């Protein structure tokens, strides 16, 4: 891992970035973003057969999911405080905005920021125990908090819609293409914010906290400040994502399973493991990949012969087994591994490596 | 020493660091027992005692790792008892760890760089060339100039100590508390580190060095405080300490001079 | 109006069953420092083992043996096959046990379907107790549970292997110094935990039903129980189990069944924040 986080010369850290001079993997990333940007425009074109309006819908969902995954990575991948209930922030954002809109008639311009603020407060609320309570115990708290919230929601189901969900929430748009661009804008925004934070000094500090919190204290930095910052930021963007999700893709419906559920929280972890913990870009790619493959698996018509069970019902099982495999054999995740292999093949020396605040971008 | 100090009472202004009647109990165990002493600016003070004497506990109380049960810590005349550790570092009191705590996921120079990063949420200063330069210079200062790109896992024992010192120095301390630096070092290495510490003193840093092995320490220090069972046993120049009967008894059969 | 006698019977029984689950969980944590999030899977395995055994025609008592043995093997296998390999990475272990538990749930969902399944009672009929008819099955389950708890207590305090468990949970280094083979002790701790959870699963299923997600609620309650009782303490687990069972049953009968488990989880969070070592836990020595 030596040399991977070595800073570039002062020039490149400045604000003028020439795309042609960026390292190959950054160029690929930019290319990918451009491809996503024009995807819906290609949809009606018959020649590109596999892209249909269904694909636009699916990629929209994938973009939302990737945002959620990035929020998990910025906390758990970077500070090392493993959250098993990150869906909490998504759900708080979604339901705050949804309920304010449905029950009080608050317009989306106001309810969405309210959702973001509520989710940020949730981030703070979850962040505080991480200062007092050690690793696994903290993880336990994160695991049970959304469950408590969920059951309270079910209890108050006349207000929250209970398990079936809250209906009739206002929407920004029902047009798939518009929703796609909302999701895409959110994705780019989240990616930009998280990359800015993690590639700055804060990124070094956060990974240092993950590595050894006492060492961070000994250099005069207060870990609490940075941990809370990560949690609040994660909560804010998670909440923004949840609110936007409900008002666009979900067409005005907020359901607990899509926004608060344990399965969602676990899927975020799985996706990050697959993509690469502590990288942000790995999380984004892992998130997109996970969501699209999951959707594909759910729609696949194959049946497993002996068990007479369609593959579509097995998707979680399959992902679970893959995750177990990754944890054993590829714990750093796919993206870092691919980058390492690429670097090895090209025979680059450590001095050529680029800065990224704690892991390969 | 003033008459008060000879009686064991210290005033806040008696030194850069003044410990007054410090006591630390863990449940029924008294680890530090009404300890008082002063560290004068510009000196290298030895803090000596057998294993379990309470040296690390005193260190931890002073540096803010945990607050004492009773007593006061004065730094530069101010009462700083119980302030959190990161705050103490900002005030200019740095420490090294006996069991080294390097960040294993990054190189030597990046380790030192972390100490140069400003305590702000939004900052890119650490990535600028100037910070790299300062980090490099600090590494060279502590003798790691040829190991900049290595990770802590690749460092020899003495190298890890140098990294601890480098990181502590990066915080621009006025007072440096060094916890058992000579453990595990060979004779020549002890001499090298002693020389480095003496140079640091010339540059204006006051130091308190803890060790239970007096061998390497007595040449380095100006003055020593010996404790046992959490209480002060003796105080004075290395010569006086070496010849003190109470000290000799405490080390009877142990790692005496 | 709450039927106090009904409540008492339920709490007495559920407390015993939750104790079995919690003890296993707390032992695994006490010796190895592992929060075994797959512990619920042992419960489910126990119930389903008994189900399939009785479906195949054997008596329920054979089913009980299966409920005891198969989860024990599963738990043992999990330790030997997976946990041991990643022992140095607590985060990985947590994620591993969580995913493993979910995978087992999925397997049962796929193989057995979502339909709740009934398991035959161990003993039929009713007995008059305090002017109420109490199913014999419940009495048998209660008695058996307490016999097991008693046997476990004896095992841990009187036998060599049992004392080794206590020694390790107090201090890994100390135990190593006296020559205790940690790996061995971990292995049979996981084994025992699996067995306890399995038999609890059988009992739980025989008055409720068996379904693939049945391990979740008891596992959640176990978190609260072991944290309240103190991680590593058997006594704490039993007392915690009864306290939690009482709180939970009171909430469910007096307020709403939809709030099942909520009081326990709130207790969990509060205890972790206020007094993490719980009632009987120790500061775990390094």
Task: List chains adjacent to chain C, taking adjacency as at least 3 C-beta pairs closer than 8 Å.
Answer: A
* pLDDT score of A137 more than 70: yes
* pLDDT-wise least confident of A261-265, C227-231, C278-282: C278-282
Nearest CA in chain C to A309: C110
The minimum CA-CA distance between A197 and chain B, rounded to whole Å, is 7
Q: Which helix (H) or strand (E) holds C22?
A: helix C4-32
- Which among A144, A321, A323 is the nearest to C220, CB-wise? A144
DSSP class of residue B69 equals S
> What confidence category does residue A18 fall into, taking pLDDT thresholds of 50, 70 and 90?
low
**What percent of chain C clears pLDDT 70, i.e. is strictly above it?**
92
pLDDT for A354: 42
pLDDT for A304: 62
- Which among C85, C106, C266 is the nearest to A317, CB-wise? C106
* pLDDT-wise least confident of A93-102, A114-123, C57-66, C216-225: C57-66
> What confidence category does residue A1 fall into, taking pLDDT thresholds of 50, 70 and 90?
very low
* pLDDT score of A8 more than 60: no
Bridge partners, B72 (sequence order): B20
| CA dist., res. A54 & res. A56, Å (int) | 5
* pLDDT score of A309 more than 70: no
| Domain ranges within chain A, ordered by starting residue | 28-352
Task: List chains adjacent to chain A, taking adjacency as at least 3 C-beta pairs closer than 8 Å.
Answer: B, C
Q: Do A217 and B85 touch (CB under 8 A)?
A: yes
| CA dist., res. C125 & res. B27, Å (int) | 56
Q: Which helix (H) or strand (E) holds A312?
A: none
* pLDDT score of C10 more than 90: no
Candidates B66, B89, B97, B127, partner chain A, best to mutate (most A CBs within 10 A) = B127
pLDDT for A306: 60
| CA dist., res. A237 & res. A231, Å (int) | 10
* pLDDT score of A358 more than 70: no
Cβ contacts below 8 Å, chain A against chain C, sum to: 100
Nearest CA in chain B to A356: B127
What is the sign of the dihedral through the CA atoms of B155, B156, B160 and B166?
negative
Report the b/e string of A15-26 with b at 16+ CB within 10 A. eeeeeeeeeebe
What are the residue ranges of CATH 3.40.50.300 in chain B? 3-101+172-250
* pLDDT score of C61 more than 70: yes
C104/A contact by beta carbon, under 8 A = no
pLDDT for A276: 87
C110/A contact by beta carbon, under 8 A = yes
DSSP A94-132: HHHHHHIIIII---HHHHHHHHHHHHHHHHHHHHHHHHH
Length of chain B equals: 257
Q: What is the pLDDT of residues A212-249, one digit of tens each?
A: 999 999 999 999 999 999 999 999 999 999 999 999 98
Residue A29 vs residues A9, A188, A197, A337, C126: alpha-carbon distances, Å: 22, 12, 18, 16, 70
Residues with Cβ within 8 Å of residue B144, at least 6 apart in sequence: B108, B159, B162, B163, B166
Query: First vs last Cα of chain A: how many Å apart?
Result: 13
Q: Do B103 and A212 touch (CB under 8 A)?
A: yes
Q: Do B97 and A219 touch (CB under 8 A)?
A: no
Say if C283 falls within a structural domain.
Answer: no
DSSP A225-266: HHHHHHHHHHHHHHHHHHHHHHHTTTTT-B-HHHHT-HHHHH
Q: Domain A28-352, what fold?
A: ABC transporter involved in vitamin B12 uptake, BtuC (1.10.3470)
Average pLDDT over residues C247-276: 87
How many Å separate Cα B132 from the centre of its chain? 26
pLDDT for A225: 94
Q: Do B171 and A220 touch (CB under 8 A)?
A: yes
* pLDDT score of A312 more than 80: no
**What percent of chain A clears pLDDT 90, i.e. is strictly above it?**
43
Q: Note whether C213 and C205 are within 8 A (CB).
A: no
DSSP class of residue A150 equals H
On chain A, the residues whose CB falls within 8 A of the CB of C85 are: 328
Task: List chains adjacent to chain B, taking adjacency as at least 3 C-beta pairs closer than 8 Å.
Answer: A
Question: Which is more confidently placed, A344 or B17?
Answer: B17
Q: Biggest alpha carbon distance in chain A?
A: 63
Domain span holding position C123: 4-214
Task: Sort A177 into a burial class: Cβ within 10 Å, 0-12 / 13-18 / 19+.
Answer: middle
ipTM: 0.86
If one counts the domains in chain C, the total is 1
* pLDDT score of A12 more than 50: no
- Which among B103, B113, B124 is the nearest to A211, CB-wise? B103
Q: Do A5 and B128 touch (CB under 8 A)?
A: no
Confirm or reject CATH 3.40.50.300 for domain B3-101+172-250, answering yes or no. Answer: yes
Count of beta carbons in the 10 Å neighbourhood of residue C172 = 18
| CA dist., res. A62 & res. A56, Å (int) | 10
Average pLDDT, chain C: 84
Find residues 83-102 of chain A whose CB sits inside 8 Å of chain C. 84
Angle formed by the axes of helices C216-229 and A135-155, to 10°? 130
| CA dist., res. A76 & res. A83, Å (int) | 6
Q: Do C265 and A144 touch (CB under 8 A)?
A: yes
Say if C224 falls within a structural domain.
Answer: no
* pLDDT-wise least confident of A99-103, B25-29, C74-78, C142-146: B25-29
pLDDT for C2: 56
On chain A, the residues whose CB falls within 8 A of the CB of B85 are: 217-218
pLDDT for C286: 28
Find residues 251-310 of chain A whose CB sits inside 8 Å of chain C. 266, 269-270, 273, 307, 309
Contacting A with CB below 8 Å, chain B residues are 84-87, 89-90, 94-95, 97, 101-107, 110, 113-115, 117-132, 149-151, 167-168, 170-171
* pLDDT-wise least confident of A70-74, A205-209, A310-314: A310-314
C90/A contact by beta carbon, under 8 A = yes
- Which among A10, A199, A225 is the nearest to B129, CB-wise? A10
Q: Do C92 and A324 touch (CB under 8 A)?
A: no
Q: Do A155 and C35 touch (CB under 8 A)?
A: no
Residues with Cβ within 8 Å of residue A209, at least 6 apart in sequence: A78, A79, A80, A216, A223, A226, A227
Count of beta carbons in the 10 Å neighbourhood of residue A156 = 12
Report residues of chain B scoring pLDDT below 50: 1, 3, 253-257
Q: Is C215 helix (H, G, I), strand (E, B) or coil?
A: coil
Q: Biggest alpha carbon distance in chain C?
A: 59
A167/C contact by beta carbon, under 8 A = no
On chain A, the residues whose CB falls within 8 A of the CB of C102 are: 266, 316, 320
On chain A, the residues whose CB falls within 8 A of the CB of C106 are: 314, 316-317, 320
Say if C256 falls within a structural domain.
Answer: no
Q: Do C272 and A155 touch (CB under 8 A)?
A: no
Q: What is the pLDDT of residues C119-176, one digit of tens each?
A: 777 766 666 666 666 777 788 888 889 999 999 888 888 888 888 888 877 776 677 7
Average pLDDT over residues C41-66: 87
Q: Note whether B5 and B14 are within 8 A (CB).
A: yes
Find residues 235-274 of chain C whose CB sits inside 8 Å of chain A. 256, 258-262, 265-266, 268-269, 272-273
Question: Which is more confidently placed, A288 or A298?
Answer: A288
């Amino acid at each position: 891992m030596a040399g991977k986080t070595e800073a570039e010369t002062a020039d490149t850290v400045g604000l003028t970035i020439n795309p042609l001079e960026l390292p190959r993997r950054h160029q690929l990333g930019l290319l990918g973003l451009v491809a996503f940007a024009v995807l819906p425009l290609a949809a009606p074109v018959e020649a590109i057969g596999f892209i249909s309006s269904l694909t636009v819908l699916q990629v929209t969902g994938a973009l939302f999911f990737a945002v959620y995954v990035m929020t998990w990575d910025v906390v758990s991948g970077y500070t090392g405080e493993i959250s098993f209930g990150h869906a909490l922030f998504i759900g708080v954002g979604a339901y705050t905005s949804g309920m304010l809109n449905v029950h009080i008639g608050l317009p989306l311009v106001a309810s969405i920021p309210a959702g973001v603020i509520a989710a940020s407060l949730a981030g703070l609320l979850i962040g505080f125990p991480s200062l007092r309570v050690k690793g696994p115990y903290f993880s336990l708290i994160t695991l049970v908090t959304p469950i408590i919230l969920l059951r309270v929601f079910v209890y108050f189901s006349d207000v929250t819609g209970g398990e079936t969900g809250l209906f009739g929430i206002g929407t920004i748009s029902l047009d798939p293409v518009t929703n796609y661009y909302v999701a895409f804008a959110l994705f780019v925004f989240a990616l930009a914010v998280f990359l800015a934070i993690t590639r700055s000094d804060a990124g070094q500090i956060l990974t240092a906290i993950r590595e050894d919190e006492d060492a961070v204290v000994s250099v005069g930095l207060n870990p609490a400040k940075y941990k809370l910052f990560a949690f609040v930021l994660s909560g804010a963007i998670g909440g923004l994502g949840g609110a936007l999700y409900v008002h666009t893709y979900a067409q005005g419906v907020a359901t607990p399973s899509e926004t608060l559920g344990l399965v969602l929280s676990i899927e975020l972890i799985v996706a990050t493991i697959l993509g690469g913990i502590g990288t942000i870009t790995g999380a984004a790619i892992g998130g997109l990949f996970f969501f699209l493959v999951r959707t594909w698996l759910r729609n696949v018509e194959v049946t497993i012969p002996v068990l007479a069970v369609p593959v579509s019902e097995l998707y979680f099982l399959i992902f679970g087994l893959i995750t177990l495999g990754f944890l054993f054999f590829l714990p750093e995740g796919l993206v870092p591994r691919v980058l390492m292999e690429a670097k090895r093949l090209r025979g680059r020396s450590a001095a050529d490596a680029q800065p990224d605040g704690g892991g390969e971008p | 020493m003033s008459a008060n100090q000879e009686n064991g009472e210290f005033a806040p202004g008696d030194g850069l660091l003044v410990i007054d009647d410090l006591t630390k109990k863990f449940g029924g165990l008294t680890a530090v027992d009404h300890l008082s002493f002063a560290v004068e600016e510009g000196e290298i003070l030895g803090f000596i005692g057998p294993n379990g004497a309470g040296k690390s506990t005193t260190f931890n109380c002073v540096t803010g790792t945990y607050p004492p049960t009773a007593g006061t810590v004065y730094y530069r005349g101010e009462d700083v008892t119980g302030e959190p550790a990161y705050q103490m570092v900002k005030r200019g009191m740095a420490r090294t760890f006996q069991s080294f705590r390097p960040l294993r996921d990054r190189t030597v120079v990046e380790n030192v760089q972390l100490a140069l990063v400003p305590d702000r949420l939004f900052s890119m200063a650490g990535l600028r060339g100037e910070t790299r330069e300062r980090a490099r210079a600090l590494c060279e200062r502590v003798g790691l100039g040829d190991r900049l790109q290595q990770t802590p896992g690749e460092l020899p024992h003495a190298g890890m100590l140098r990294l601890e010192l480098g990181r502590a120095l990066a915080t621009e301390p006025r007072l440096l508390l060094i916890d058992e630096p000579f453990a595990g070092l060979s004779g020549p290495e002890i001499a090298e580190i002693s020389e480095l510490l003496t140079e640091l003193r010339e540059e204006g840093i006051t130091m308190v060095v803890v060790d239970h092995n007096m061998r390497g320490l007595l040449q380095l220090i100006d003055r020593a405080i010996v404790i046992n069972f959490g209480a002060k046993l003796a105080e004075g120049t290395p010569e006086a300490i070496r010849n003190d009967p109470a000290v000799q008894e405490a080390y009877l059969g142990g790692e005496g001079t | 109006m709450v039927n106090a006698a009904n409540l008492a019977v339920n709490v007495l029984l559920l407390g015993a069953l939750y104790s079995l689950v919690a003890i296993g969980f707390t032992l695994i944590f006490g010796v190895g420092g592992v929060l075994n999030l797959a512990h619920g899977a042992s419960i489910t395995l126990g119930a389903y083992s008994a189900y399939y055994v009785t479906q195949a025609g054997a008596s329920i008592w054979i089913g009980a043996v299966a409920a005891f043995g198969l989860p024990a093997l599963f738990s043992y296998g999990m330790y030997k096959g997976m946990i041991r390999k990643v022992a140095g990475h607590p985060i990985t272990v947590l994620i591993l046990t969580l995913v493993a538990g979910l995978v087992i749930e999925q397997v049962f969902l796929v193989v057995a379907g979502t339909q709740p399944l009934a398991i035959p009672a161990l003993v039929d009929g009713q007995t008059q107790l305090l002017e109420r008819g109490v199913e014999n099955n419940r009495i048998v389950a209660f008695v058996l549970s307490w016999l097991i708890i008693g046997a476990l207590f004896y095992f841990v305090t009187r036998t060599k292997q049992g004392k080794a468990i206590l020694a390790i949970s107090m201090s890994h280094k100390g135990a190593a110094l006296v020559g205790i083979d940690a790996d061995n002790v971990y292995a049979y701790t996981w084994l025992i935990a699996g067995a306890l959870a399995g038999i609890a699963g059988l009992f739980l299923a025989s008055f409720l039903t068996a379904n693939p997600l049945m391990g979740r609620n008891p596992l959640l309650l176990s978190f609260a129980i072991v944290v309240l009782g103190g991680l590593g303490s058997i006594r704490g687990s039993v007392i915690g189990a009864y306290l939690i069972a009482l709180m939970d049953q009171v909430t469910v009968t007096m307020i709403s069944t939809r709030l099942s488990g909520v009081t326990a989880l709130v207790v969990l969070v509060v205890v972790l924040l206020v007094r993490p070592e719980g009632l009987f836990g120790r500061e775990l020595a390094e």
